[in-house]
Amino acid sequence: MEDAKQLEAFEAKIAAGQKIEPKDWMPEAYRKQLIRMMSQHAHSEIVGMLPEGNWITRAPSLRRKAILLAKVQDEAGHGLYLYSATETLGIDRSELLSQLHTGKAKYSSIFNYPTLTWADIGAIGWLVDGAAIMNQTALARGSYGPYCRAMIRICKEESFHNRQGYEIMMHLAQGTPEQKALAQDALNRWWWPSIMMLGPSDDQSPNSDQLMRWKVKMESNDAIRQRFIDRTIPQADFIGLTIPDKDMKLDAATGHYEHGPINWEEFFEVIKGNGPCNAKRLKARVDADKNGAWVREAAMAYAAKQTKDKLVA
C-alpha cells in the first residue's frame, strides 16, 4: 500500500517535469534500469578511449595531436563523471568495473570496430559522436537529476568533438586525392556501424511504456536514427563525400531520408562479442586493471599510514 502511494507520487513528480534526486524514493526497476544504462554509458566512454588513443602517437601534426589528446581526456572525464553519477544509485565504481571486466555489462557496439587510418579519427568525431549526441540530447531531458546534469555537460563537449571530427574530414576531403580517398574509406567503414549503434529498430526493440513514462527512455531508436541521418547526409554532400548506401533517397513528401536495409545480423554479432575488436578492447581494460592493482594498493596503504600518523599526532 505504501509502495503504491510512493509510486503514484513518483510518477506524478515525473509527469510534472520534476527531477528525481538520489535520496528520493524510486521503484527498484527504475534504479536497476538507470544503473544499467548509465554504467553502459560510462564504460563506453572509457572503452572509447582505446580506438581513439590508438592514433595519438601517430597524429599527423602537433595541432591534431593536441586536439586528439584533449578529446580523449574529455572522454575519460565523461567516464569519471558518469561513474560518479551512477554511484548515486547505490553501487560503487569497482563493482561497475568488475561487471565490465567479466562481460556482464556492455558498452557501445561501435568501439569494437578498429581505427585503421588517421581518417577514422575524423569519422569517429563526425559520425560516432554525432550519433551519440542525438541520443544524449534526448536523455538530457530525462527524469533522473544526476544523469540529466551529466548529459547536459557531456553534450556540450561532444558537440565540440563532433565539429572537430567534421573539420578533420573536411580537410581530408579537400586535400590531396590520397587524403580524399582516406576520408571516403573511413566513411564507408564507419557509416553502417554508426547508424547501428543507436540500437535495434523499433520492431525489434519495443519501447516499454513504463520506461517512456518514467522518462528513462525519451525517444525510440528509429526516431533518433532518422534525425541523425537527416542531419548527416547534407554534411557529407557539402564536403563531397558519398554515403555508402545506394538505396538512400530523400522522400520529398516527408522531408526525411530513407535508408537501405541495415545488416542487423552484424550488429547482434558485435553485441554478442564477435566484433572485430571485442576481445582486444576488453583485454586492454582487464590488463590495465590488473597491471594497476599494485599501484592502487600502494595508494591505499600510503593513505592509511597518513591517517594513522594523524591520529597518533
Partner 1 sequence: MKEAKFEYLLRLGDSSLIIGHRLSEWCGHGPILEEDIALINIALDFVGNATSLLSYAGDVEGKGRNEDDLAFMRGEREFRNLLITEQPNGDYANTIARQFLFDTYMYFLYEELKSSKDETIAAIAVKSHKEITYHLRHTSEWMLRLGDGTAESHERLQNGLNDLWMFTSEMFDMDEVDAILIKEGIAPDLTKVKASWEKRVHEVLAEATLQIPTTTFKQKGSKEGKHSEHLGFLLAEMQYVHRAYPGAKW
Residues near partner 1, by CB under 8 A: 46, 49-50, 53, 56-66, 69-70, 72-73, 76-77, 79-80, 83, 118, 171, 175-176, 178-179, 284, 287-288, 291-299, 301-303, 305
Distance in angstroms (rounded) separating the CA atoms of residues 70 and 115: 18
Q: How far is CA 107 from CA 48, 104, 266, 300, 301, in A?
A: 9, 10, 16, 29, 32
Kindly tell me which of 1 and 62 has the beta carbon lying closer to partner 1. Answer: 62
In which residue are the cell numbers 527512455 written? 217
In sequence order, the 6+-apart residues with CB closer than 8 A to the CB of 249 are 257, 258
Write down the least CB distance from residue 303 to partner 1, Å.
Answer: 8
Query: d(Cα 222, Cα 139) in Å, to the nearest integer?
Result: 15
* Identity of the residue, 128 or 134, whose beta carbon is nearer to partner 1 in the bound complex: 128
Close Cβ partners of 269 (under 8 Å, ≥ 6 residues apart)? 275
Q: Which of 60/234 has CB closer to partner 1?
A: 60
Q: Which is nearer to partner 1, 58 or 272 (CB)?
A: 58
Shortest distance in whole angstroms from residue 76 CB to partner 1: 5
Name the minimum Å distance from CB 91 to partner 1.
16
15 vs 303, which CB is nearer to partner 1? 303
Going by C-alpha positions, the residue among 190, 177, 225 that lies closest to residue 117 is 190
Length of the chain measured in residues: 313
Q: How crowded is residue 299: how many other Cβ atoms within 10 Å of its Cβ?
A: 11
Query: Residue 291 Cβ, how far from partner 1 at the closest point, in Å?
Result: 7
